Amino acid sequence: MRSIEELTDVVRARGGKVTSQRLLIWRALEGDRTHPTAEALLERVKPLLPSLSPATLYSVLNELVEWGDLRRFDAGDGSIHFDPDTSDHAELICLRCHRVWDVRASAAARDVPEEIAGFRVLNHAEQYYGYCADCRRAAGETAVSA
Amino acid sequence: MRSIEELTDVVRARGGKVTSQRLLIWRALEGDRTHPTAEALLERVKPLLPSLSPATLYSVLNELVEWGDLRRFDAGDGSIHFDPDTSDHAELICLRCHRVWDVRASAAARDVPEEIAGFRVLNHAEQYYGYCADCRRAAGETAVSA
DNA sequence: TTCTTTGCAAATCGTTTGCAGCATG
DNA sequence: CATGCTGCAAACGATTTGCAAAGAA
């Protein structure tokens, strides 16, 4: 996600307005590494602005996604999470408990092409799906066995 | 996605039953490269078994996802697509029109670790988010300009 | 026969919409 | 003061649920 200052410029350049709601949501996302859902974000900002409506939150999140400043992803169970971290990293997603972990594995550190066959790339994401240690234990799994 | 024969074994091993509905849906997904939504899949199989209910389709899709045989992803706008292609490849996803293209770029051809810190990896996915040529043209964009 | 799975229909829940009032530029 | 944005509440639509009947093993 770009900085608050840059986002301010983006909104102004589009003829939009830098409202307190946008600022609040941007600040809540800034530096976040928890992959929150929309609901979790709402709970986080509600105390700071109780009148904030879900519709506004969704609208601000959607524009960030469309600008390439926020990534939306499915944790494997249909629950939608957001990630403002557009730096190159990968996620481990457990197919049983649906928790998410970041991994800054060497495999993920790689150049992202600026353009692929006329398609302009804004950001890049990577996921590893599988079973986490807890779920493997709970399932009585002891070692890697496909 | 594993073969129909392997999936048959998986179901039997779990004490489940290889029903005609499961077979039908597995066959519809086999070799599919169109990233269909659940709705698109339903339209595809409905003519072959008109009595098939959405609930059954969702249930079969969900178990395939949980087994790591099918990947579910969000095209950036909340629309959920499925992909049975678990081989290493990446997707280009347009943030404006939400269409999806597969790319078997060299960057995607890489070893997937079997295990990462106790997490057992079943499959891997990669996405490039940005704007497609059509949408760039429609927006009056002429060259790469961040 | 036994027990999983199906189909149906209703319920659910996250997200979007329409519109009047408000606040930014 | 012009217009984009917000809050509200209702609408929406995709997915899930509960349960009786069906059909694999």
Give me the half-sphere count of Cα atoms (radius 13 Å) on the Cβ side of residue B86.
21
Q: What pLDDT sits at residue B106?
A: 52
Spanning CA of A145 to C1' of D20, the rounded length in angstroms is 39
DSSP percent split of chain B into helix, strand, coil, nearest 5: 35, 25, 40
Find, among A129, A125, A108, the residue nearest to A71 by Cα: A125
Q: What pLDDT sits at residue A87?
A: 87
State the Cα–Cα distance between residues B136 and A119, nearest whole angstrom. 8
Helix ranges, chain B (H): 4-13, 20-29, 38-45, 54-66, 133-138
Question: Partners of A21 in the beta sheet?
Answer: none
Residue B146 has pLDDT above 60, yes or no: no
φ/ψ (deg, to 5) at B65? -65, -45
Q: Does B38 touch chain A (CB under 8 A)?
A: no
Model confidence at B145, pLDDT cuts 50, 70, 90, reads very low
* Distance (Å) of CA A119 to CA A114, B11, B102: 9, 41, 12
The whole-number average pLDDT for the span B107-129 is 83
Q: Does A112 touch chain B (CB under 8 A)?
A: yes
Q: What pLDDT sits at residue A146?
A: 34
Token pair of B7, please?
Answer: 């999936």
Contact A65 B71 (CB under 8 A): no
Q: What pLDDT sits at residue A145?
A: 39
The helix/strand count (H/E) of chain A reads as: 5, 6
Rounded (5°) CA angle B117-B13-A143: 20
Q: Find which nucleotide's C1' atom is closest to A17's CA.
A: C24
Contact B121 A113 (CB under 8 A): no
Chain A residues with CB under 8 Å of B94 CB are 119
Find, among A137, A100, A131, the residue nearest to B119 by Cα: A131
Q: What pLDDT sits at residue B144?
A: 43
**Whether the Cβ atoms of residue B110 and residue A90 lie closer than 8 Å to each other:** no
The phi-psi region of residue B71 (left if phi > 0; otherwise alpha if psi is between -120 and 50; otherwise beta) is: beta
Contact A105 B121 (CB under 8 A): no
The model carries a pTM of 0.91
More confident residue, A84 or B105: A84
Percentage, residues of chain A above pLDDT 70? 92
Contact B74 A80 (CB under 8 A): yes
Collapse the DSSP code of A98 into the 3-class scheme (helix H, G, I; strand E, B; otherwise coil) and give the result: coil
Count A/B contacts: CB-CB distance under 8 Å.
130
Token pair of A85, please?
Answer: 């971290």
Q: What is the pLDDT of residues B54-81, one digit of tens each?
A: 999 999 999 999 999 999 999 988 899 9
Chain A residues with CB under 8 Å of B107 CB are 110, 113
State the Cα–Cα distance between residues A73 and B78, nearest whole angstrom. 9
Nearest to A130 among B92, B110, B120 (CB): B120
State the Cα–Cα distance between residues B120 and A136, nearest whole angstrom. 8
Residue B38 has pLDDT above 50, yes or no: yes
Q: What pLDDT sits at residue B110?
A: 65
Instruction: Name the residues in A86-105 having a C-beta closer than 7 Å to nucleic acid strand D.
Output: none
Token pair of B102, please?
Answer: 């597969």
The whole-number average pLDDT for the span B78-102 is 93
Residue A143 has pLDDT above 60, yes or no: no
φ/ψ (deg, to 5) at B59? -65, -40
Collapse the DSSP code of A83 into the 3-class scheme (helix H, G, I; strand E, B; otherwise coil) and give the result: strand
Q: What is the pLDDT of residues A78-94, one digit of tens each?
A: 899 999 998 888 999 99
Long-range CB pairs of B11-20 (<8 Å, 24+ gap) are B20/B49
Q: What pLDDT sits at residue A142?
A: 54
Model confidence at B109, pLDDT cuts 50, 70, 90, reads low
Q: What pLDDT sits at residue B46?
A: 96
Nearest to B95 among A66, A78, A115 (CB): A66
Model confidence at A144, pLDDT cuts 50, 70, 90, reads very low
More confident residue, A64 or B143: A64
More confident residue, B3 or A109: B3
Q: What is the pLDDT of residues A4-63, one digit of tens each?
A: 999 999 999 999 999 999 999 999 999 999 999 999 999 999 999 999 999 999 999 999
Token pair of A69, please?
Answer: 């400043």
